């Protein structure tokens, strides 16, 4: 698998996100259309694990906090960037979402949670902020940023 093949897998998600506001209604839509435990969600999750084992995904950072931008925003991605992080029992750096953030949470440890949420989708609205936190083990989080915008605050 390569980046282009991975981007192709994400096309149905990108098509949904492109037509919606970045808000809680979008999280409900994604959880209904691409629920955890069904083939589409599992295919993306398996592709992430494969790409990590191949060394081209989550290639930056160190044990407990690996990360990396996989896809830059472009017209092909409805101006969404795609990043994937692999986090283990960590509070990550505080940042703001000027244009919002769409997250696919994929716990590697069954009980792991990202910001208090288990397997599935969550959406942070434009202007929101947080310290991304994984508790109870390890989780992969694929996140999409409109225009690729994220602002690390140093807090």
- Residue-wise pLDDT tens digits, 94-143: 999 999 999 999 999 999 999 999 999 999 999 999 999 999 999 999 99
Residue 84 lies in a domain: yes
Neighbours of 88 (CB within 10 A): 16
Q: Which helix (H) or strand (E) holds 83?
A: strand 80-91
Tell me, yes or no, whether 153 lies in a domain.
no
Q: Which pLDDT does position 88 carry in this prediction?
A: 97
**Domain carrying residue 22:** 3-145
For residue 152, is it within any domain? no
- Answer whether residue 114 is part of any domain: yes
Cα–Cα distance between 119 and 37 in angstroms, integer? 9
Q: Which of 17, 43, 24, 54 is nearest to 106 (CA)?
A: 43
| Closest alpha carbon to 57 in 42, 40, 45 | 45
pTM: 0.95
Residue 155 falls inside a structural domain: no
pLDDT band at 155 (very low <50, low <70, confident <90, very high): low
CATH at residue 69: 2.60.120.10
Q: Is residue 122 part of a domain?
A: yes
Q: How many domains does the chain have?
A: 1
pLDDT tens column, 52-105: 999 999 999 998 999 999 999 999 999 999 999 999 999 999 999 999 999 999
């Amino acid at each position: 698998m390569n980046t282009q093949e991975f981007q192709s897998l994400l096309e149905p998600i990108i098509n949904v996100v492109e037509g919606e506001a970045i808000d809680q209604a979008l999280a409900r839509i994604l959880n209904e259309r691409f629920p955890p435990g069904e083939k589409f969600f599992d295919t993306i999750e398996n592709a992430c694990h494969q790409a990590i084992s191949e060394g081209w995904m989550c290639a930056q950072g160190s044990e407990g906090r690996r990360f990396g931008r996989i896809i830059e925003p472009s017209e092909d991605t409805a101006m969404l960037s795609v990043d994937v992080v692999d986090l283990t029992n960590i509070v990550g750096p505080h940042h703001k979402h000027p244009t919002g953030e769409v997250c696919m949470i994929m716990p590697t440890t069954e009980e792991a949670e990202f910001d208090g949420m288990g397997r599935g989708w969550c959406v942070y609205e434009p202007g929101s902020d947080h310290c991304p936190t994984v508790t109870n083990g390890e989780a992969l989080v694929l996140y999409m940023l409109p225009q690729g915008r994220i602002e690390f605050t140093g807090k």
